[in-house]
Amino acid sequence: MDRRTLILLVPMCALAHDPISTKITWSREISRLMFAHCASCHREGGSSFPLTTYRQARPWAVAIKDEVLSRRMPPWGAIEGFGDFRDDESLTETEIEIIAAWAEGGAPEGDPALLPAAPEIPKVSPAPVGVEIVVDGRTVLPRAVRLMAIRPRTLAAGASMQVIARRPDGSIEPLLWIYNFQPAFLRSYVYREPLALPAGSEVEASRGAVVLITATPEPGH
């Protein structure tokens, strides 16, 4: 979570003596979620303050709950199911509910013996090499390509956008959907597998949005 976002939030140390009303614990459930979705930034030596131990995370339990409920954190941006991307650190609805229930239930530590191994910091996929195509409204692809990645270029803060590809046969490929755009979402979204788009496919972005797509020619084209 961004320090600028949380700097106005007072750590909830007073909650240390709250009654425990949940079976969800840091050691069993929450540490695993934090390691998988937050430790790439929130760790010793990371880009934000560490949250990889119970002692570090406990004072921020309510703030963590508020940030994930609002989907400000983790700062991923792409709506799940609208494009299949690598490096997706977003939380599912079930995972968000688990974190909220833990914070609201007194944020217990649980049995330290159940803690997982220290997190391995995931490597962010490098931006793929290819031709960048600007999509401002609608663009028709003159040749068959393999779509590797997509990146917002122009979008107002708080705005939302959808990008789709319409193949000549009429089939639709969802490419990217961002809701309530924030500067932290300005990144390359690399597809898990390249998307094949034939010549004549139309790539269309919502009004007011400009995106860059990275593509390579289909072999033999």
Mean pLDDT calculated for residue range 68-96: 88
**Could you tell me the two tokens for 11?**
């750590």
Question: 3-state class of 173 per DSSP?
Answer: strand
Q: Which residues face 164 on adjacent strands? A: 174, 204
**Residue 220 C-alpha from the chain's centroid:** 35
Q: For residues 85 and 14, what is the distance between their CA atoms, to the nearest angstrom?
A: 40
Residue of 93, 118, 125 whose CA lies nearest to 36: 118
Q: Identify whether residues 17 and 67 lie together within a single domain.
A: yes
Q: Is residue 125 part of a domain?
A: no
Question: 3-state class of 178 per DSSP?
Answer: strand
- pLDDT tens, 96-124? 999 999 999 999 999 999 999 877 776 67
The domain total for the chain is: 2
Tell me the residue range of the domain where 103 lies: 3-114
Q: What is the CATH number of the domain that holds 201?
A: 2.60.120.230
Q: Is 53 exposed, middle or buried (0-12, 13-18, 19+ CB in 10 A)?
A: middle
Q: For residues 196 and 148, what is the distance between their CA atoms, to the nearest angstrom?
A: 9
- pLDDT tens, 174-218? 999 998 888 878 889 999 999 999 999 999 999 889 999 999 998
